[in-house]
Chains A and B, each alone.
Chain A
Amino acid sequence: MAADDHFAYIFAAELHERLRWFITLRWMAVAGLAVGSLVGPRMGLESVWPSLFVVALFVAAYNLYFSWRLGGRSGQERPLGGLRHCAIRQMVMDLAALIVGVHFTGGLQSPLLPFFAFHMAIGTIVLSTRLMYLIAGCTSLAMLLLYILEENGVLRYHPLDPLHGICSRACYLNMVSFVMALFGIVYLTDSVTGRFKERNIKLHEAKAALQERTEELQQLLDEIAEVEERKSHYMRISAHQLRSPLGTVKTSLMVLTQGYVDPGSERGRKLLEGAIERVDGLLRIVNDLLELAKIREGRNRAPWARGVNLNQLVADIFDAVSPLADEREIRLVPLVEGVAVLDWGIPPDLVFALENLVQNAIKYSLPGGQVTVGLRVTGGGEAVLTVEDQGIGIPEEFVEQVMDEFVRAPNAKAHAAEGTGLGLSIVREVVEAHGGRITVRSVEGEGSTFTVTLPLHHRPPEVEALLHDGNDGGYQTPTGS
């Protein structure tokens, strides 16, 4: 296992917390060393003053440094690598201080020796086992070197018991058991904690995966909530649009039934006819709402057909709307370049959408005006349909929302009373179902241009799914050409 993996079990926040705890423990060590340096001479250990005190100052100094390095930011904000280096540095400094302390307190007889064991155990928990074997080896070599230098008189030996000199041969055994203890503790600690480390790693991985899934779910929930919100808003707007004419109808009927107006009188007839007119409007809104819902759900629609010829479609629409254009004294002008054939399309929907646009153009034109219907094919494989009129136009503040449900500009209402405000919404749905987009340019009083761009080679998901199953039997071959 790579060292990095081995480290992985202890994570930044946890490691940071432990390192801070070590700093607290180290202040106790500083206190212990200082007290030892003061008390030692009274007990016959002349060598510990001031040497042990200097060691205490040294430990205090680097503890302050590490405390400063670790302070402030929390563990999560720190890179794990940096914390790990900090842990190794603390370990090396501690062991160095211990070796110096050991030198002044009797070498291999030193009462400080058990603290090596303490460091090996903690180190194996916090750092990687391989690194700890390396540290145990280095510590052993350092102790051996110290022992050799002391024995050969290069370094002065400070005996624990001044009455006795350097412990002769028996100390070789101490050296051996010291080295064995260091390695043994690393090994034992590792064998005890290894399994926990692995479990810890797995737990952490599971936690991370869970966190990721939770975030995905949360995002999904947010999206659903947003859709719900939009739906509910749409429902409220729709209900209001129905409620307004219903209010008028009910008021009129109450006035008639409660005897304020005689139903047979001229006024009575006007109220009744007005009520019928409102009910007709309500029916139109309800039908358009149903139409919109059907397109949105993609259900109960005419089937997708192959090879839909838009030129033919435009010609058919011209035939269909020319009586209306004649009636309103509007000139219809075709402007067709090339032949546009969609790979896939729903002909009745496309007819509905384009007819709606052309009808609107006629409806909001002034007598004597001109409506131009353009069709061309771009090099990028798109059919571009334009419907341009010289009519009343759309006020600037309504241009962007004119295709939203129930949006009708005041000049449109004044010009043509009927209209549900849903036609353009349906057109947009149809265009988008065909993978296309619709834009509008308009200047109030000058006219509007609606531009529908349809990709020729769009393959709708419904067709994709069926073709994938090798079953396209339900689809018609080219229509209208």
Chain B
Amino acid sequence: MSQQLKIVIDGKEISAGPGQTIMEAADAAGIYIPRLCFHEGLPPGGHCRLCTVKVNGRPVSACTFPVAEGQVIENASEEMTALRRKIVEMLFCEGNHYCPSCEASGNCELQAMAYRLGLLNPQLPYLRKPRELDASHKDIYVDRNRCILCGRCVRASKLLDGKTVFGFEGRGINKRVAVDAERSLNETPFSVTDQAAKICPTGCLTLKRKGWAIPVGQRAFDKGPIGADIERK
């Protein structure tokens, strides 16, 4: 049995295993570190930076940074929460997220994260940049207005489905999720049964004809905030 390490998160000492990331160790101890691009079953992407914690005073992404003996980690402090709130705010202002008419509302991790972090009214200007809606596939659509570039679909399609349907294209403000086709999703081997079809944290990659089938009160985040499942452990 490998030797357990001791780390301290927000003043609480927990045990961690060698090779674990900080996020894995925190999850096992029932401490929630906010995240959007991370998904269990996929290797971490380190894209969204929402899981940024301070280790011995230095900011790192908890989903990729390994534990080490004696780390003192700052997670739920006012400073880190404010940082994360600003990241989420930027995501909202960069994309075109209209929660009132979005079928992902109540099940959306971005929306749930905004509620958890207390983001009620963005202060930054909305970019309102036109983005494409790809409705070509018979069972699933890609609404890039709602994309936060988490890359979950890119990783899932490649690593879980073995298809590489999705990939990133462009840089900076012009970066987008592209499909491996001349024009649109219907030209790819993408299937509704693919793991990538079920992994989007927002309403970007969405199954068709299923909207609002789950009533208010029974949606993923109606009964508790995002992260409550980890905190209940």
- A and B interact: no
Residues of A whose CB lies within 8 Å of any CB of B are: none
Residues of B whose CB lies within 8 Å of any CB of A are: none
